[in-house]
């Protein structure tokens, strides 16, 4: 069996230890000869990397492990780059969330003005990573889950149309697992149909391998409980604020009663509710800094201090095993069916063929092949067209340095009530992002 060489870009991410542990747990199906971490914040990365180095010696000494801030070292001789960078880190996420809230507008990591601001930061960082990858390992594939994935995907389509970058999100994976708990099925044994943009879509069919339709049971359950289920044993999305999000799916279903919604639609369909239920002084970024970030970095320090991972190991992020599924699909041409963010090309028949959409794909050694989902109804199509225009305007604003296009993007977002509120938020975001955005004229 072929052995792969991997670089994780965003080595200092809170997800890195869990993903490394998951990959070590999956070596039997996805063999790795070399694993490198790369980050542009050497100090942040080093804390995790030193601890991971200790763990790797104990559980997988045969895998060559290293970490670096040097792009050449990181990207030379690699088969896959797994990218999860956060340009501006949590300090900027906090501002993305808090600035719109000053104007009683949704403050969220990837949706509305916060997502737009994050997109304007991510595009440059992502284009840089792709350049490094293509310079030092031209055959390498990038599996990207850096956010905001739909804006990043659109930027890749426009600026890097021939690059081997596959954008993917874990939300459909996580929600499908919840559906599995609800329907008493292994998610691997469920076939789905789905259409949408990233963080903006609907399941139109969920079936058992033998063809049994699970939709009636799921729709009935979700109409009462959303995706909340006592049976869920998850490694993420368990904080109280996430539980509220899973529950809110019941209200999303009311607008599209025949489809199962992506939970992120709550920011577009019930923005007033979201604002009312958000503390403007303590947002999700604060929860993550006080929770996941603290836990992961404390665990790393404990391992470094003890010189061993025995007694204080990182936990395996099983939820992230879809990343290995994806790498296997490309590396071994498994043609597994997975939801990916790809150019539409007719998969959603009555939607812009050049839009970057999220649909089921067959993934093989040439990448993802979208599967036809047919026509979609007017309501969902209208919402998607509006949101697609927002995402396109952000990418155009970044490329052209256009203040007007970014103002149009904010104004068009369903989360923002008017052009004047959009302008006030934009001016604040622009000031906060001086270091990260291109200059806008």
By the rule CB under 6 A, 170 interacts with ligand G6P: yes
By the rule CB under 6 A, 193 interacts with ligand G6P: no
**Helices assigned H by DSSP within 103-148:** 112-136
- Which lies closer to Mn ion via its Cβ, residue 169 or residue 300? 169
Binders in 2-61 for ligand NAD, by CB under 6 A? 9-10, 12-15, 39-41, 44-45
Confirm whether residue 169 is marked as ligand binding.
yes
Q: Between the CA of residue 185 and those of 176, 323, 325, 360, what are the distances in Å?
A: 10, 21, 19, 19
Q: Is residue 264 annotated as a catalytic residue, yes or no?
A: yes
Q: Which of 15, 264, 267, 268 is catalytic?
A: 264
The three-state secondary structure class of 290 is helix
What's the closest the beta carbon of residue 147 comes to ligand NAD, in angstroms?
3
Residue 263 touches which of ligand NAD, ligand G6P, Mn ion, none (CB < 5 to 8 A by kind)?
A: none
Burial 393-417 (b: 16+ CB within 10 A, else e): bbbbbbeeebbebbbbbbbbbbbbe
Confirm whether residue 93 is marked as ligand binding.
yes
- Which lies closer to ligand G6P via its Cβ, residue 275 or residue 309? 275
Nearest Cα residue to 266 out of 257, 283, 254:
254
Residue 284 touches which of ligand NAD, Mn ion, ligand G6P, none (CB < 5 to 8 A by kind)?
A: ligand G6P
Binders in 100-129 for ligand NAD, by CB under 6 A? 125, 128
Q: Which of 170, 317, 325, 428 is catalytic?
A: 170
Confirm whether residue 237 is marked as ligand binding.
no
How is residue 18 written in tokens? 């869990």
How is residue 73 written in tokens? 């070292």
Interface residue with Mn ion among 171, 183, 340, 406 (CB under 5 A) is 171
Interface residue with ligand G6P among 55, 143, 156, 171 (CB under 6 A) is 171
Which residues are CB-neighbours of 311 under 8 A, at least 6 positions away?
A: none
- Which lies closer to ligand NAD via its Cβ, residue 103 or residue 242? 242
By the rule CB under 6 A, 284 interacts with ligand NAD: no
Q: What secondary structure does DSSP assign to 321-372, as a single string? A: HHHHHHHHHHHTT--EEEEEEEE-TTSBTTS-TTSEEEEEEEEETTEEEEPP
Interface residue with ligand G6P among 157, 246, 284, 392 (CB under 6 A) is 284
What's the closest the beta carbon of residue 373 comes to Mn ion, in angstroms?
19
How is residue 34 written in tokens? 């070399």
- Which lies closer to ligand G6P via its Cβ, residue 1 or residue 281? 281
Which residue minimizes CB distance to ligand NAD?
Answer: 12
Q: What secondary structure does DSSP assign to 237-267, as a single string? A: S-SHHHHHHHHHHHHHHTTSTTSEEPGGGHH
Residue 41 touches which of ligand G6P, Mn ion, ligand NAD, none (CB < 5 to 8 A by kind)?
A: ligand NAD
By the rule CB under 6 A, 235 interacts with ligand NAD: no
By the rule CB under 5 A, 151 interacts with Mn ion: no
* 381 class by beta-carbon count within 10 Å (0-12 exposed, 13-18 middle, 19+ buried): middle
x-marked contacts with ligand G6P along 11-50 as a string, rule CB under 6 A: ----------------------------------------
By the rule CB under 6 A, 301 interacts with ligand NAD: no
What is the β-pairing status of strands 367-370 and 356-364?
Answer: antiparallel
What residues pair up with 202 in beta bridges, in sequence order?
Answer: 195, 261
Pick the stretch among 164-172, 216-224, 368-376, 419-427 that binds ligand G6P (CB under 6 A). Answer: 164-172
What residues pair up with 363 in beta bridges, in sequence order?
Answer: 336, 368
- Helix pair 149-159, 378-400: axis angle to 10 deg: 60
What's the closest the beta carbon of residue 147 comes to Mn ion, in angstroms?
6
Nearest Cα residue to 250 out of 218, 223, 268, 216:
223
- Which lies closer to ligand G6P via its Cβ, residue 122 or residue 413? 122
Interface residue with ligand G6P among 219, 250, 269, 288 (CB under 6 A) is 288
User: Which residue has 């993802």 as its token pair?
Assistant: 368
* 349 in Cβ contact with 372 (< 8 Å): yes
By the rule CB under 6 A, 94 interacts with ligand NAD: no
Distinct helix (H) and strand (E) counts, the chain: 17, 12
Compute the C-alpha angle 431/200/409, nearest 5°. 35
How is residue 395 written in tokens? 């990418």
By the rule CB under 6 A, 170 interacts with ligand NAD: yes
Confirm whether residue 162 is marked as ligand binding.
no
Q: Which residues bind ligand G6P (CB under 6 A)?
A: 109-110, 147, 169-171, 284, 288
Q: Which residues bind ligand NAD (CB under 6 A)?
A: 9-10, 12-15, 39-41, 44-45, 84-87, 89-90, 125, 128, 145-147, 149, 169-171
Q: Which residues bind Mn ion (CB under 5 A)?
A: 169, 171
* Residues designated as active site: 170, 264
Q: Which residues carry a binding-site annotation for Mn(2+)?
A: 169, 199
């Amino acid at each position: 069996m072929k052995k792969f060489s991997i670089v994780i870009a965003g080595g200092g991410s809170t997800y890195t230890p869990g993903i490394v542990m998951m990959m070590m747990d999956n070596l039997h199906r996805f063999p790795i000869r070399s694993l490198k971490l790369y980050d542009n914040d050497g100090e942040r990365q080093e804390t995790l990397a030193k601890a991971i180095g200790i763990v790797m010696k104990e559980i997988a000494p045969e895998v060559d492990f290293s970490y670096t801030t040097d792009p050449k070292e990181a990207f030379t001789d690699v088969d896959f780059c797994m990218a999860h960078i956060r340009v501006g880190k949590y300090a900027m996420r906090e501002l993305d969330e808090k600035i719109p809230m000053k104007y009683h507008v949704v403050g969220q990591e990837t949706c509305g003005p916060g997502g737009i601001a994050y997109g304007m930061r991510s595009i440059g960082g992502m284009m840089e990573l792709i350049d490094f990858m293509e310079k030092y390992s031209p055959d390498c594939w990038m599996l990207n889950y850096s956010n905001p994935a739909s804006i990043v995907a659109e930027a890749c389509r426009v600026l890097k149309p021939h690059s081997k970058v596959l954008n993917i999100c874990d939300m459909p994976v996580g929600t499908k697992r919840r559906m599995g708990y609800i329907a008493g099925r292994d998610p691997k044994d469920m076939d789905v149909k789905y259409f949408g943009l990233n963080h903006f879509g609907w399941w139109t069919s969920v079936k058992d391998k033998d063809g049994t339709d699970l939709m009636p049971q799921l729709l009935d359950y979700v109409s009462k409980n959303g995706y909340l289920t006592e049976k869920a044993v998850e490694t993420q999305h368990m904080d109280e604020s996430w539980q509220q999000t899973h529950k809110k799916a019941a209200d999303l279903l009311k607008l599209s009663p025949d489809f199962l919604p992506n939970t992120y639609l709550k920011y577009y369909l019930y923005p007033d509710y979201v604002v009312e239920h958000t503390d403007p002084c303590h947002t999700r970024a604060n929860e993550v800094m006080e929770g996941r970030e603290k836990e992961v970095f404390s665990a790393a320090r404990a391992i470094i201090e003890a010189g061993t991972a025995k007694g204080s190991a990182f936990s395996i992020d099983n939820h992230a095993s879809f990343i290995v599924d994806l790498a296997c699909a490309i590396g071994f041409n498994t043609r597994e069916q997975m939801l990916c963010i790809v150019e539409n090309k007719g998969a959603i028949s009555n939607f812009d063929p050049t839009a970057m959409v999220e649909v089921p794909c067959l993934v093989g050694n040439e990448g993802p092949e979208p599967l036809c989902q047919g026509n979609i109804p007017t309501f969902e199509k209208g919402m998607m067209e509006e949101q697609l225009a927002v995402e396109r305007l952000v990418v155009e604003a970044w490329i052209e340095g256009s203040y007007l296009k970014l103002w149009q993007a904010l104004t068009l977002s369903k989360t923002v009530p008017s052009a004047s509120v959009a302008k006030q938020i934009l001016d604040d975001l622009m000031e906060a992002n001086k270091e990260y955005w291109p200059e806008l004229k």
